[in-house]
Every structure is written in C-alpha cells, then in structure tokens.
A and B are shown apart, each in its own frame.
Chain A
Amino acid sequence: MSDYFEYVESLFRNGEKREQPLKGIKVVEVTHYIFGPNVGRVLAQFGAEVVKIEPVGEGDRMRMGAVWGRFYKKANLQFLALNANKYFISADVRHKKAREIVFKLAEKADVFVENLRAGLADAMGIGYSAISRVNPKIVYVSCSGYGQWGGRLVMEGSFDIAAQAVTSIGTKTGWEEVDEFYKLPDYFGDFLPSQLAVFAVLAALYHREKTGKGQYIDISQAEGLFRFLYDVTYLSLTSQEIGKTGNIDPTASPSGIFKTKDEKFVAIAIMDDDQFSALASVVEGLKGKEKDRLKKERIKELNKILSEWVSTKTLEEVINLSKELGFPASPVLGDYDIYKDPWRYERGSILKFKDRLYGEVVIPGPVVNLSDSPGEIKWLARPVGYHNRLVLKKWLGLTDEEIDELEEEGVIGYWDNVPGCMPPATWDKEKDRVFWGDKDER
C-alpha cells in the first residue's frame, strides 16, 4: 500500500476533474464592500456565472479601499481578488429602465445576493417578495448587520467594526492589564458571516435540486458571530464574562504566545491531557500539574513555567519537539512569511496568476480544496461596467443598438477615471472584444 500522503496528493493531482459543482448556476449580486461580494466570490470560484451590478462611476466603494492606498495598475488588487470570475455591469438604479434591467437579470437568476441596508432592496423594487413573484425558484440572500426583521436594530447601518461592538466580540481581544480593546482585524466580522452565507446558499440550492423550491435567506453579521460566542453559555453558568484574556485561550492550558531563545515567537496551546503529558515530558516544571489546569490562576502559573522553558529553546527546537512528542505548537507568521510559504503554493491556496488585463499577480486560490471538482480563479475583477455589453447581449438578448441607446440615456454607464475603477493604462479599448461583448472571458 502506498504512502498515505502521496496517495492523497495523487487524488488532488490526478483527480477526475469533473465539471465544477456550480456550473450552470446564475447569480446576480447587488453588493458592496466584503460581506456580499465574498458570497459571489466563492460561488464563482466553483463555477457559478456571477453578474455584479454596481453604480455608475465609482462602483462598489471597496474599489477605492486599497491597502495603504497602493493601487496596482490603477486597480485595487484586493478588490480584483475578492471579485474574481465575475461579470461587471453598471447601472443607475434611479432610472426606471435600470431597475427593469436588474429585475430582468434577477428573473433569470438562480441566486440573488444583496448586502444593502435592510429594507433598501425592497424600496428599490428588487426585494425578495418582488423577485420571487416572477421567479419563485430564486434563492435570495440578504446580508445585513443585524437582520431583516426584529427590534430596533433592523434600521441601523452596519460595518464589520460596528458588528464587533454590538455583539460584544470587541470586548474579547486585548491584554487584561491594559485598558484597551482591539478589533478582530482584516474584517473578520464580514468574512466569517459571509462564509456562513455561502453555506446557506448552497444548502438552499441543494434543497431546490431536490424539491424545485427557492427560498429567502436572512443572514446578519451579528448572528454569524454569535453562533460561536460560547461566552453566552459561560455567562449563564457563572454570571461572569470571560472578557479579555491576553494570549491565553481559556479552553487550553497552558496556552499562549511565547518568546524563544532566538527572539522569535511560538504559539502553544494544550487542548487535552495527552498533549499535556507530551509537553510535560520535556518541561520539567509541568510534571504532575494537569489537575485543574483550566482554572484561570492555574493557567497563568503553568504559562509562567512554560514561558521560562521556551526562553531557553530556539523556535526550531520547540517545533521539532512538538512534531516528535505531539503537542500543538506553531510559529507566528506575518504576511510576508505567508506570501513566501511554499506549502501554500503547493496546496493552491496562493497562486501565481496571469490575467489578461493585469498580467501576473499573486493572489489567494479557492477557499476550499476539492479533489475532483476543484475551484478555479479564471479572471480578475474588471473596471466598472466593463461587461455591460457582454451581459446585456448574453443574458437579455439586447442588440448593440439597444445598448447604445441605454448608454445615451444614462441608464447604464462605465467607470470614472479614478484608480480602483478604471482599466490599466495598457488597455486597448478598440481591440478588447470582451469589452464589446463579442467574446466571453473564457
């Protein structure tokens, strides 16, 4: 029997590569920032045809949000990756004809995603009730801060950081002894709920496959975070809040981030007694101390012992011992380490990708690895309104003349000449057949 790891690798390298799971699924999204767009991102990675509708000119405001203001070939690379594989059309929804276009696209869609303020989609005439009336098989997902119904919070606008405050998640990160609270960075309050939204949409598609029925999904940032807020249970049992615990994971002991002899950092978190024994076999001071190891004061005491031990070892020594003995330990990486990590390229979670408009870039690959129907990055996001012609011809059967007319009336439009929204300088409008809608991206 061959080696297990080689066997699994062969599944990924030589798998059947069947059709992508969502091939044939049409998605329309009216989304901005991260929560909504990430839903379309994942669906598109696995074969769905996703049309993103943006306002004319500046489009999705996330286009302007480049890390440290650094644009790449006049685009925001973060936006290019978050909105890869999508088709971009741009319409002015104050125009009745534009709303009709959105509506007609939704009529043909399998999935509709929006993350406008609760109630706004309804007001625009593209809410669930309006669309499901003409397309009862639609899977419609509304992503919001606090949900589409309930009490006073429904009308409140939201943002990742606001959701972190309203859910009390914001009180959980920081040092016990410092009067400060830190956010969960990189918009975790958008990404986790968004992945849950993807899960819900897939569940609804599966159900629709079996029964033919569409449905409405209401997902909020807050409830996506609450779902794993075990603190509520702790509070109900003890009348205490867990609050900030510095580098201690309250479910693991010892646990923390420690400095090694060679001035590097290592995370160690002991989840069970076997792991504790493994660690204690080399950390003399821990021997015989597993009793009540999860009590708060006890964790601190054990951490002190562990911290002293770590300070006498290099990072490599600690990691080697964790491999040999079997306890959780890991170096603490930074962005650059991740970017340079060959393991991630082997897995396909980071890719060198060559795009028709933007050339070679490095971006994350599909969010999950499937052996036989893998996800794929096909093209990066495009400028505002770039696929107007392609989508209006392909989806709605409009002619070039009809599209010209819509353009003249200001119903549809294109990018403003600002970074994040516009094409790269090397782009040749006349020669780009995709832009003119005569050829698909693939």
Chain B
Amino acid sequence: MKDRAELFSEENKDFAFRGVTVVEVTGTNFAGMIAGALLAELGANVIRVDFDESPKEVTHFGVKVDGYGIPYFVESRNKEIVKFENVEQLRKLMLSADIVIDAMKPGYLDSLGIGYRQISSENPKVIYVAVSPYGHFTEKAREFSNVPDSDLTAQAYNGYPSLIGNPYLTGELSYPLRAGFWVAWTMAGVNAAVGALLALIEREKSGKGQFLDIATHDAIAVTHIFPALVGFLFNKSRTKYGTLDYISYPFGIYPTKDGYIALATPHDPDFRGLLKILGRWDLEPDWRFSIDRISDDIERIKEIETILNNELKKYTTKELIEKAKKATRGGFFGRIKAVRRFMGRPIIVKLITLKEVLEEKHWWIRKSFLKVRVDSREVVIPNVAFKMSETPPRVLKLVKGVVRGDEVGDSGGAGREVSEE
C-alpha cells in the first residue's frame, strides 16, 4: 500500500502535455471549459479567452469565490486567462495553438474570420474541438445554431430526465426529472478531451490536424448505449424507474429505519442472500430469477418493490450493513462451490451526505480534494480525477487563491503558485 502511495507521488514528475498549447474559447458552455481543464491538469499550456464576464456569473445559488462562480473557479485550474481584445489577438493565439476548443455558438468564430477554415489554412496542424448543443454540421445544427447550451437542456435531449423519478408518483412529481449533477456537460467535456487526445496522437503520425465535433445533446446517449438499443429492441421508451431497474433488480437507493442505503444484487445468488438477511425466504419461489424482477410492466414489479421497501425499513442502516457483511457467501457451507453459486450477498452501502464524505480519511490520504486559501478563507475544491505514476495530473494554480498542502489537519504550509487577474 505504501509502495503505491510512493509510486503515485507527485514529486519531480513530468507532465504528459508539456509543450502542448491549447486555446479555449467557450463562453458559458462549461463542457468546453471542462475539456480545457482536463488538458491543463496534465500540463498543457491552456490559454482561456473570455469575451465577457458571464461565465464567471454561472454559480450555485449565486454563491461566489471572491467574485468567481464556483464552476469557473474550479475549472480555471492551471489556465492562463485573458480578456478578448480584438479578433487579431485571438487569431494570433489560435495560429500558434495545437488545440483550439471552440464552444461558442456554431459558426460564430468563423463569422469573425477565425474559424477552422481560416485558422487551419495557416496552421494545418491545429486540432479544432467544436463543442455545441447540436454540432457544427447537419441541417439540425444549422437550425439550432442560435440556441445556447445548458446542461439541463442537454440532459433533456439525451433522454436522461425521462428515466429519473418514482414511477408511482403523480402530478408535477411525475414530470421528467433532472439529474442533480451536470451529467451532460461533464460527459461532453470528457469526451471532447478524449477526442482531442485521439487527434493529438494521430497527429504524431500524420503531422496534420483535424476537426472534432462534440454535441452535448448527444454525448450521454452515444456513450451510454442504452437509448438507441432500447428503441431498436422494444420500439418504445423506458419510463422513469426510480429504484427499479431494467437489468438488475434491486438497484437503487432505499430508505431504512434511520436513513438510506444503496442496494444492489447483481446476481441471483445475491438476491437470495438479501432474502435470507431480511428473513423473507418465502419470496424466493416467485422472485428467484433476475428475469422475474425486471420488467417493462412496472405494475407487476410494484409488488416486490413494496415488500422490499417495507422490509428494509424494519432495520437500521448499520444493521443491514452488518447483516450483509456476515452473509459470507453461503456461511459455513460457502466453501462448497455449488453453495457459493447459489447463495451470495447483496451490496449494501450507506448513502452519506457530503459532510460525511469530507470526514472520510480515505479521500484525504488520496488527496481527492484540495484546500485552497483565498485571502483568509479556506475553500475546498475537487482535486484531479485519477492518478498517474509518471505524469500525474496536478492543480498548480487557480484563477485566484493559493493551493495548499492538503493533508488532514494541515494548517497551511507552502502553497503553490498564486494567480491574480
């Protein structure tokens, strides 16, 4: 374990994208800003050009970090941020860029004379990453080119809110429901970064750049596979599914006597294990197979769903977790393979609050979060998403503030660079 921590140490390590220059022009489209941030974490020289103040205004319930919206503050990591002065200034930056991220309205930069066709004629090595609701080609893209992007509208066109919520509720509570996370902008942003790297790797061979088109209104659906596939196989849409599922039931968040748990039984033996724990072996004959518990007829499933809800509420979260732990794959007879195949155990995890997340030492040992000092205030931000042994991604600076040592209870120590606009 200690070896691993040392292997991933950030000390004296190289950056994967040292020498790669990125120009980011994204306005309030944070999918583009996220793509730039992922490249910047790995050492690309990312120059963000802001046309106005509006991206800084986008923030949760109006809460800001010293004038900066939270998403802007977090995604400004390692970037050099400049104000747009004139087309010539931006053109010059783009001519020397390896990667351009354009998340403005489709055709806007082209109309200024600095789109892909103009820039690539002078800088044929440029990798042009276009991020927009409906892309930069097709009739639909043209038709909707004046419609700005948002995560929520992108969720909607990806078919995501149609799947969320309790299918048995009525009235406004039966409306499609937003995922409480920027699912579309994050997926599109990561996909844009993936595409940029594919083009960068290809350029090593061909010496040429190319055009990449990311549609936020499609990013989830194309990645997740399910929507097209369900349409093809069933000629209809899934309804909202709540704690039900279409592949494996149960798979969701359930109330207990004193809180909530995430519950999953990936295989039939695990479901049997759950019935054992709950003392409801009587249900086994009717609901034995996965195929009994997943159905497009949600009324049929309601029976087991109601029973399960009632049974789980008889126990505290702790009791359920303890019971699941003790249910070691068939108990004493678990050493017999045939028994193990018959009797498994459910996955039961406590649904915790964010405060509880931040009390979990595991994340601080792994530096999953960083503490930043902004003036006299301490602000917590997400750190990088993964660890690399040779070229670890790192947060070196933010638009404002000092990135602090991030051990538990660290009281300051040597900060990294400060960047003030």
- Within 334-372 of B, Cβ neighbours of A (below 8 Å) are at 347, 349-358, 360-363, 365-366, 368-369
Report the separation of the CA atoms of residues A299 and B215 in the bound assembly, to the nearest whole angstrom. 28
Picked from B225, B295, B381, the residue with its CB within 8 Å of the CB of A233 is B381
Residues from chain B with Cβ under 8 Å of A225 in the complex:
181
* Shortest distance between the CB of A239 and any CB in chain B (Å): 9
Q: Tell me, yes or no, whether B231 is within 8 Å of chain A by CB.
A: yes
Known: A171-B353, A182-B166. 11 other contacts (CB 8 A): A12-B137, A66-B247, A67-B230, A226-B363, A229-B382, A265-B175, A271-B149, A295-B61, A363-B225, A364-B228, A370-B212
List of B residues within 8 angstroms of A65 by Cβ: 247-248, 290
User: Are A61 and B266 interface neighbours, CB within 8 A?
Assistant: yes
- A220–B130 alpha-carbon span in the complex (Å): 28
Contact A18 B291 (CB under 8 A): no
The answer on a CB contact under 8 Å between A207 and B347 is no
Residues of chain A with a CB closer than 8 A to B206's CB: 18-19, 372-373
8 A-B contact pairs sorted by A residue (CB < 8 Å): A5-B139, A188-B179, A205-B201, A215-B388, A222-B368, A229-B181, A347-B135, A362-B231
Q: What distance in Å separates the Cβ of A346 from its nearest Cβ neighbour in chain B?
A: 5
Min CB–CB distance A376 → chain B (angstroms): 12
Closest chain A CB from B399 CB (angstroms): 13
**Bound: A347/B262 CA distance, A:** 37
Contact B366 A147 (CB under 8 A): yes
User: Which residues does chain A contribute within 8 Å of B161, judged by CB atoms?
Assistant: 247, 257, 267, 332
Contacting residues, chain A, for B160 (C-beta < 8 A): 185-186
Name which residue of chain B comes closest to A175, CB basis.
Answer: B173
CA distance A90 to B17 in the complex (A): 37
- Smallest CB-CB separation from B62: which chain A residue? A294
Give the chain B neighbours of A288 by CB distance below 8 A.
none
B305 vs chain A, min Cβ distance (A): 12
Residues from 331 to 381 in A contacting B, C-beta threshold 8 Å = 331-340, 343-344, 346-347, 349-350, 361-365, 367-373
In contact, A233 and B366 (Cβ under 8 angstroms): no
Selected interface stretch from B64-72, B86-94, B279-287, B412-420: B64-72
- State the Cβ distance, B272 to closest chain A Cβ, in Å: 16
| Chain B residues near A234 (CB-CB < 8 A) | 60-61, 63, 70
- Is A269 within 8 A of B153, CB to CB? yes
B187 within 8 Å of A by Cβ? yes
Q: Take A330-B156, A337-B159 as given contacts and tell me if A202 and B197 are in contact as well, using a CB distance cutoff of 8 Å.
A: yes
> Chain A's nearest CB lies how many Å from the CB of B202?
4
For B352, list chain A residues within 8 Å (CB): 165-166, 168, 171
Q: Are B173 and A232 in contact (CB under 8 A)?
A: no
Which residues of A from 1 to 47 have beta carbons under 8 Å from B? 4-9, 11-12, 15-16, 18-22, 38, 42, 46
Known A-B contacts A251-B58, A329-B147; the reply to A336 vs B38 at CB < 8 A is no
User: Smallest Cβ distance from B95 to chain A, in angstroms?
Assistant: 19
A266 to chain B, nearest CB (A): 8
- Which residue of chain A lies nearest to B374 when distances are taken between CB atoms in the complex? A237
**A 153-180 to B, binary, CB cutoff 8 A, 1 in contact else 0:** 1100101011011111111111100111
Interface 1/0 per residue, B214-239 and A, CB below 8 Å: 11011011111111111111111110
Whether B319 sits at the interface, judged by CB under 8 Å, is no
Complex interface: chain B residues within 8 A of A373 (CB): 198-199, 202, 206, 210
5 interchain residue pairs of minimum CB distance: A339-B231, A334-B237, A172-B180, A151-B362, A165-B262
List residues of chain B with CB within 8 A of the CB of A149: 1, 4-5, 8, 365-366
Q: Is the CB of B180 within 8 A of A347?
A: no
Which one of A196, A257, A330 lies within 8 Å of B385 (CB-CB)?
A: A196
A313 at the interface (CB under 8 A from B): no
Main secondary structure of the interface of A (DSSP, over half): mixed
Name the one of B180, B213, B231, B255 contacting A173, with C-beta atoms under 8 angstroms: B180
CA distance A180 to B365 in the complex (A): 32
**Is B150's CB under 8 angstroms from A165's CB?**
no
Q: How far is the CB of B169 from chain A (nearest CB, A)?
A: 7
In the complex, are the beta carbons of B16 and A18 less than 8 A apart? no
* A153 / chain B contacts, CB cutoff of 8 Å: 360, 362
A406→B62 CA distance, assembly (Å): 65
Q: Which of A263-318 contact B (CB under 8 A)?
A: 265-275, 292, 294-296, 299
Closest A residue to B292 by CB, please name it: A69
Q: Does A441 contact B (CB under 8 A)?
A: no
Contacts of A436 in B (CB 8 A): none
CB neighbors of B among A252-268 (8 A): 252, 255-257, 259, 265-268
Chain B contacts for A408, CB-based, 8 A: none
- Given known contacts A335-B159, A368-B212, A327 and B386 CB-to-CB distance under 8 angstroms: no
Is B266 touching A339 in the complex (CB atoms < 8 A)?
Answer: no
Contact flag A269-B151 (CB < 8 Å), given A182-B164, A228-B182: yes
Report B-chain residues with C-beta under 8 Å of the C-beta of A435.
Answer: none
Give the docked Cα–Cα distance between A21 and B201 (Å): 6
> What 1/0 mask marks residues of chain B from 190 to 205 whose CB sits below 8 Å from any chain A CB?
1111110111111011
Question: Of the candidates A195, A228, A241, A332, which one forms a contact with B162 in the assembled complex, judged by CB atoms under 8 Å apart?
Answer: A332
B74 at the binding interface (Cβ < 8 Å):
yes
A365–B116 alpha-carbon span in the complex (Å):
24
User: If A199-B190, A362-B231 touch, does A335 touch B238 (CB 8 Å cutoff)?
Assistant: yes
Contact A170 B176 (CB under 8 A): no
When the two chains form their complex, are residues A202 and B221 in contact, meaning their CB atoms are under 8 A apart? no
Answer yes or no: A92 CB below 8 A from chain B CBs. Answer: no
The contact of B177 among A146, A246, A272, by CB within 8 Å, is A246
Please tell me which one of the listed residues A223, A267, A367 contacts residue B223 in the complex, with CB atoms under 8 A apart.
Answer: A367
B5 neighbours in A (Cβ, 8 Å): 149
Contacts of B157 in A (CB 8 A): 330-333
**Which of A70-78, A101-109, A388-396 is found at the contact surface with chain B?**
A70-78
- List B contacts of A346 (CB < 8 A): 138, 140
CB distance from A45 to the nearest CB of B (A): 9
B315 within 8 A of partner (CB) = no
Q: How far is the CB of B174 from chain A (nearest CB, A)?
A: 10
* In the complex with contacts A218-B4, A323-B147, A338-B231, A328-B162 CB distance below 8 A: no
| Complexed CA–CA distance, A295 and B61 (Å) | 5
